[in-house]
Amino acid sequence: MNKPLFMHIVDRLSNEVEFFRQKKDCLGRLSLSPLQRCTAAIRCLAYGTVADTVDEYLRLGATTTRSCLENFVEEIIYLFGDEYLRRPTPADLKRLLDIGEHRGFPGMIGSIDCTLNDINVLDRSHVFDDIIKGQAPQVTSSVNGREYNLTYYLTDGIYPKWTTFIQSISIPQGPKAVLFAQHQEIARKDVERAFGVLQVHFAIVKNSALFGDKVKIGKIMRACIILHNMIVEDERDGYTQYDVSEFQPGEDNGSSHVDLTYSTDTPSNIANMMGVRTRIRDRQMHQQLKADLVEHI
């Protein structure tokens, strides 16, 4: 990450977290500085090495380094989690829809994948909770002249044929199907690149078992994702392929529309929730949407 971003993190931790403040002992000697503690933690995250590899560079023992790492990931989650690990806001959603439509997929908000067994993770996922509870922004998109009221993700073939998932065509027959498969697979590479970039930035993702039990590993993963999102936001203007001014909230830049004035106070009952759940899993609507996308592309 860029130095100003790292120093911003160091300043927040040193000002708001007791563990990272530099103190004096009874003899007036200064303790470890916030910079030493944060550098030890970030090096463990970045290089994925054992705790005692920073002792010569930072003059920290292995026990102190592990303590720095554990406190660092917990405070990153506490201080920055609400901002950098959240659901898309309506404005975010509008921008994602505009970019998806620009790439040939009206109503698409991204790609979804998992490094483990996708179906097991999907069964425990909360990704559609807001939709099922009636608390998600209302989205309307037009594909091949037909109106749809649900967004969708691009996925690989292991995911079920739900309205919210659009897979490629494994054995495309004819030029339309071939063209659709090419577009879908190119667009879906985004999620694979995201995993790759996360592992390049934070090698501990590949070796996290070295640093403790399942709870600690979970906190390490959450902190790495938050830091990754902070880096993306900090550097976005330097590498984005799109002029984001074209995708400002409230502007009609295409056939997708998001109701930015939606209310999250919609009372939910079991009948409504089951109805939405049925719509999400509607195989016939999935096939219709996929056919319309083939024609659209």
Residues in the chain: 297
Can you tell me the distance from the alpha carbon of 136 to that of 113, in angstroms, rounded to the nearest whole number?
A: 21
Per-residue pLDDT reduced to its tens digit, 204-232 = 888 766 666 888 888 999 999 999 999 98
Can you tell me the distance from the alpha carbon of 168 to that of 158, in angstroms, rounded to the nearest whole number?
A: 11
Per-residue pLDDT reduced to its tens digit, 98-113 = 999 999 999 999 898 8
- What is the phi/psi pair of residue 227, to 5°? -65, -40
Per-residue pLDDT reduced to its tens digit, 37-69 = 999 999 989 988 777 777 777 778 888 888 999
Supply the pLDDT for residue 52: 75
Q: What percent of the chain has pLDDT over 70?
A: 86
Supply the pLDDT for residue 168: 93
pTM: 0.76
- pLDDT exceeds cutoff 70 at 116: no
Q: CA dist 164 to 150, 241, 276, Å? A: 7, 26, 12
Supply the pLDDT for residue 243: 58
Helix 62-84 to helix 214-239 angle (10° resolution) is 60
CB 90 within 8 A of CB 127: no
Supply the pLDDT for residue 258: 65
- Asked which of 10-24, 187-201, 278-292 is least confident by mean pLDDT, the reply is 187-201
Per-residue pLDDT reduced to its tens digit, 136-170 = 778 888 999 999 988 899 998 888 899 999 999 98
- pLDDT exceeds cutoff 80 at 186: yes
- pLDDT exceeds cutoff 80 at 94: yes
Supply the pLDDT for residue 17: 93
Residue 132 in tokens:
């099922």
Per-residue pLDDT reduced to its tens digit, 133-142 = 766 778 888 9
Supply the pLDDT for residue 250: 47
**Number of Cβ within a 10 Å radius of residue 271:** 8
Residue 40 CA from chain centroid, whole number: 26
Which residues, in sequence order, are CB contacts of 131 under 8 Å at separation 6+?
150, 276, 280
193 residue type, one letter: R
